[in-house]
Amino acid sequence: MTTQPRLLMSELSTAMVWPASAVVAPGGDIAVAGVGLAELAEHYGTPTYVIDEDEVRARAQAWRRALPDADVVYAAKAFLCRAMVDWVEQEGLGLDVCSAGELELAATRGFPPERIVLHGNAKSPQDLRTALRLGVGRIVIDSDCEIARLAAQVPGPDAQRVMVRVLPGIQAGAHHKIRTGAEGQKFGLSIADGDAEEAIARILGQHRLELVGLHCHLGSQITEAEPYAEGVRRVVAFMALIRDRYGVTLPELDMGGGFAVAYLPGDPAPAPSEYGRLITETLADACAEHGLPVPRLTVEPGRSVVAPAGIALYRVLSVKRTTGRVFVAVDGGMSDNPRPALYGARYTVRRVGRASDAPMRSATVVGRHCEAGDVLADVVELPDDIRPGDVLAVPASGAYQVSMASGYNMTGRPPVVAVSGGRSRLLVRRENFEDLRHRDVGL
């Protein structure tokens, strides 16, 4: 471990995108949780994903403090492995899953099924069978097709508790591909055109289903709290309509996730307390206005729990200076991080493990894959003496990278390493050619 590290006090402009434990160490390295990143790259190879366990726990705790009377449910799609299941359970969070695979993984760790919420706009028969077998606490109905299908499978005698995902007609989120609360997309049932009310009426006629509340998810990377407040106002007004027309007062409201984190210096990233304060205040006011009891609130942070705890490590393979540009190619790319190609995500990049006095120059960090769109970070500042063999660290990489990784070009998905208290441990091993070969059974 690198000795005598110093805090990132000289780099306050970039410190917000790194875990709180990150310090600059002699020799140009950065240590996270007391472990040098260059040392990790050497030991585990590259690409490698590093997760600061204490950062994950601290962020889970921050959400619990921000909403002490609500249910905080971790959105597993951001990143999930067995260790993550354990951390979430130990910190008192629930788990939001989207597939039978995520459900089965949670079950292997003994996660309490009553604290699990199952989502999905197109749940497979296996998804529903697994959820019913394990006894998940809530299933979120996303289309009218699911109602009879689910009711027919409930074994009884107890009814399955369900929620209905509604569309409040709100545009929120960093990119049009991750705005999920607006009209005219695949998620949820519209309040405005009557689809949500029709689904609720059908559910109330199914004795095997118990409607306990409404669910609403506005989008991702939402950088201010006001869209959540507007979502609360619209959904509470709809809850009042349901009470008036059907005589049913729903006891629960799930406002989903989508809370923003900083990827670049200066990115807005409100604290959980800021979101929590406005959501709870608006909920109380809206319920008072409509004469409703305040429902039990649920939120589903995923990215905001794990993204700032993760760092991707790459090794430079080539440096190309052409047409006035510098292309730094690394040994990963869109196979381990498709976010830039999918919706233009941007990142901070830093060289670690080698100090120099070279001036900083604008460069584009690209991946190794056969796609012109395989760009990890465009227009970032790197030392002018960047060269093959150097290690690059990309902070804020804990969410929607490993979980969305693919087998493109048969490069194999990267490992995940946890760091805490000056030690590292392997959570997920690197996918190798033997793994890929064993899946190929065509001969």
Residue positions annotated with a catalytic role: 370
Q: What share of the chain is helix, strand, coil (3-state, %, to 5)?
A: 35, 25, 40
Residue 51, strand partner residues: 310, 418
DSSP letters, 256-323, are ---B---SSTT-----HHHHHHHHHHHHHHHHHHHT-PPPEEEE--SHHHHGGGEEEEEEEEEEEEET
* Dist CA 378 CA 311 (whole Å): 18
Can you give the C-alpha Rg of the chain in angstroms? Answer: 23
Residue 49, strand partner residues: 312, 416
CB 382 within 8 A of CB 349: yes
For residue 176, give Cα distances in angstroms to 173, 185, 219, 222: 7, 10, 9, 12
| 59-81 exposure pattern, b = at least 16 Cβ within 10 A, e = fewer | bbbbbbebbeebbbbbbbbbbbb
Strands 360-366 and 325-330 come out as parallel
